[in-house]
Amino acid sequence: MNFLAPTAFAFAAVLPVVVLFYLLKRKRTVKLVSSTLLWQKFLAESQASAPFQRLRHNWLLVLQILLLALVILALARPYFAGNVKGGRLLVAILDASASMQSTDETPSRFEQARRAALALVDNLRDTDQMVVLLAAGHTEVKQSPTGNKAALRRALQSCAVSDAPTRLAEAFRLAQPLVKDRTGAEIHLYSDGAAGDLSEFENEGLSVIFHQFGRRAENAGIVTLDVRAHPEDPTRRAVFASVMNAATNPVQTELDLLFNGAVVEARPLTLAPRETAAQVFTAAQTNDGIFTLRLMTPDDLAADNQASVVSLLPEPAKVLLVTRGNRFLERALAAVPNVSLTVAADSADDAREFDFTVLDDVLPAEWPANNVLAIRSAPTNWVEPAGRLDAPPIVDWKNTHPLLRFVNFDNVQIAEALAVKTPPWATPLVESPTAPLLLAGEIGRQRVVWLAFDTLQSTWPLRISFPIFIANVVDWLNPATARATQFQVRAGDPIRLALTSPLTNAVMRLPDGSERTLTLDPGARELVFGDTQREGIYHLEAGTNRVDFCVNLLDAAETDTTPKAELRFGKYAKVQAATAQPANLEWWRWIAAAGLAVLMFEWWFYHRRTA
């Protein structure tokens, strides 16, 4: 047992004073009574021949001494701590992602989590230290290691919840070196359990205490949103969306589509329990603008009930195809709407006049500087050839990437392909057992799609997925589409805008109406704005440019607000949700309650004795 205020034992000096009161001669008030027959015992107790009496057994004295001892012990604040010698280091990770705004806790999950973290600060020992990390779109160190409780409380009070998705892996990467090889070190996670992939920490043996918050999942939200040219009418736009119901009960609501703030269509919507429903809207568009989708349902989470997307009128794409003869590829490119196709035999010298270039199994004398689809050809600084593959089977493809939307590789056979290692700039989209077959990425500001095999040496051009893939390539490599893509930002990610002329300042207006003045380096080639913690439309004024950015949540893991009972670290390691475990346990409240009980008993005993 230890004491937080051992100086309170100085009050023990008053114990002899209580005893002294019982030794002093009692002073009695003289009263006339008719008879002393019933007062003999009282008279015997009141007799004294000296200033001090002999201390006799008296239960009132015992009770008063016991009461005073309990009060002194409570003032000393005794507590029991663990067996860890010396100070401990505690890392508190406060989840500030969108799902923590859920109001199934009062007033919200985040506020309950903050209160629990503050309680942990209150119970720190004098030798303990604590680190505060705020985890949302990115992890922020709110307080470095310290034992100053006031500083820790200020750090927690300064934390704010955001509309960004959960990225707890980054928080654990920061916490891991702090607690590694330290005796008694602990990571306290305050979250609802929407943690994402934490498999990289499966074998790290982290000491994690998971404080879980959340009671239910009464929520529906918009999880995907995209706008495309209408396949049959170029004057109209198609808006694709997915709406998810995370509740176990059906939901009846209304889904509204707006263009530049005006309602285009209001659609009644019924969602079955745990259902994700795809929705397609078509709308006329005569000028650039913003489509907003709004879900009119009261639920626990408001951050996913609205999403916006910038819609720019389609511009014709000038495409240069350099090939020795590939009618399948030529017809697939020509069939894409708004494509102006030029076919060349063996030269890409004039590629600067085009939006992007397609190189079909040719090696040009000069590689184009614009976006490129390279089929079985690439400079050595893009990929490093490591031989050839005969009849490589396709074992996996990422259909979540825009290039492979609605693309299927079932029954596609390949005669031969180049074997390369995945370069740092690329993401493998189609893979064989030993090497990637389709790569996509950016080299500087140049978008590149690289195919490892000649399409004419495969059955792919005979499948319906081939023209769909070519249409996706045109859309992804078109600079106009790339410009529109940069206007869609995930909450928590920075807004980026390439600068074509020197600027010294700009103004960003946030969704709540407030404005931020940005100071720029005159030599800067890019504007970066990182305060995108709230979803909505951000308006930028930079010189003569007026640009709108749409910041959205669009995350199914956040919309599914079901509290998780455990935190999984890979396939085998997991941590069960637990109640808060304080760093020490104080006993003064129980001792004070015992003192109050003694006081009440002493009052009852005295009145019973004197009645």
**Mean pLDDT for the stretch of residues 177-186:** 90
Please tell me the predicted confidence (pLDDT) of residue 60. 67
Residue 436, pLDDT score: 94
Tell me which DSSP letter residue 565 carries: S
Please check whether residue 45 lies inside any domain of the structure.
yes
In this predicted structure, the answer to whether residue 600 has a pLDDT above a threshold of 90 is no
Token look-up 């935190």 returns 567
Q: Are residues 307 and 359 in the same domain?
A: no
Query: What CATH number should be reported for the domain holding residue 533?
Result: 2.60.40
Residue type, 110: F
On whether both 181 and 94 belong to a single domain, the answer is yes
On whether both 66 and 161 belong to a single domain, the answer is no
Give the CATH number of the domain where residue 294 resides.
Answer: 2.60.40.10
The one-character DSSP state at 31 is -
Write out pLDDT tens, residues 143-157. Answer: 999 999 999 999 999
Q: CATH number of the domain at 326, please.
A: 3.40.50.880
Do 293 and 355 fall within a single domain? no
Contact 248, 273 (CB under 8 A): yes
- What's the CA gap between 333 and 451, in Å, rounded? 16
Q: Is the pLDDT of residue 51 over 80?
A: no
- Over residues 232-254, the pLDDT tens digits come to 776 788 999 999 999 999 999 99
Q: What pLDDT shows up at residue 57?
A: 67
Alpha-carbon distance 609 to 430, whole Å? 93
Q: Same structural domain for residues 75 and 126?
A: no
Given this model, what pLDDT does residue 310 score?
Answer: 93
Asked if residue 449 and residue 324 are part of one domain, the reply reads: yes
Give the model's pLDDT for residue 56.
Answer: 63
User: pTM to 2 decimals?
Assistant: 0.71
Element (H, E) at 558: helix 556-559
Is there a domain that residue 482 lies in? no
Q: What is the predicted pLDDT for the residue at 268? A: 96
Query: Amino acid identity of 49?
Result: S
| E-state strands within 246-288 | 251-259, 262-271, 276-284
Count CB-CB contacts under 10 A for residue 178: 17
Kindly state the tokens that stand for 430. Answer: 């189609």
Domain membership of residue 122 (yes or no) is yes
Sequence-distant (6+) residues with CB within 8 A of 11 are: 71, 72, 75
Number of independent structural domains in the chain: 5
Q: Are residues 196 and 343 in the same domain?
A: no
Average pLDDT over residues 402-419: 92
Q: What is the mean pLDDT of residues 354-367?
A: 87
Q: Is the model more confident about 440 or about 87?
A: 440
Residue 381 CB contacts under 8 Å (≥ 6 apart), including other chains: none
372 inside domain? yes
| Pair 6, 94 in one domain | no
- Specify the long-range contacts of residues 276-279, CB closer than 8 Å, at least 24 apart: 276/223, 276/242, 276/243, 276/244, 276/245, 276/556, 277/242, 277/243, 277/244, 277/245, 278/240, 278/241, 278/242, 279/240, 279/241, 279/242, 279/243, 279/255
pLDDT tens by residue, 64-76: 778 778 888 778 7
Q: What count of other Cβ atoms lies within 10 Å of the Cβ of residue 286?
A: 7
Which one, of 92, 101, 94, lies nearest residue 555 by Cα?
101
Q: 400 with 418, same domain?
A: yes
The percent of residues above 70 in pLDDT, for the chain, comes to 88
Query: For position 583, what pLDDT does the model report?
Result: 46
Give the CATH number for residue 186. 3.40.50.410
Assess whether 106 and 153 both reside in one domain: yes
Which residue range is the domain that position 365 belongs to? 317-477
Least confident stretch, 327-341, 440-454, 508-522, 591-605: 591-605
Report which DSSP code applies to 396: E
Give the model's confidence band at 44: pLDDT under 50 very low, under 70 low, under 90 confident, else very high: low
Assess whether 331 and 472 both reside in one domain: yes
Does some domain include residue 444?
A: yes
Cα–Cα distance for residue pair 412/407, rounded to 1 Å: 11
pLDDT tens for residues 428-477?
Answer: 999 999 999 999 999 887 899 999 999 999 999 999 999 999 999 998 99
Residues 41, 488: Cα–Cα separation, whole Å = 95
List, for residues 548-574, the tens digit of each pLDDT value: 999 999 999 999 999 998 888 888 888
* Confidence class for position 49, pLDDT limits 50, 70, 90: very low
Does one domain contain both 333 and 437?
yes
Q: Is residue 534 part of a domain?
A: yes
Residue 368: left (phi > 0), alpha (psi -120 to 50), or beta? beta
Q: What pLDDT does 580 receive?
A: 46
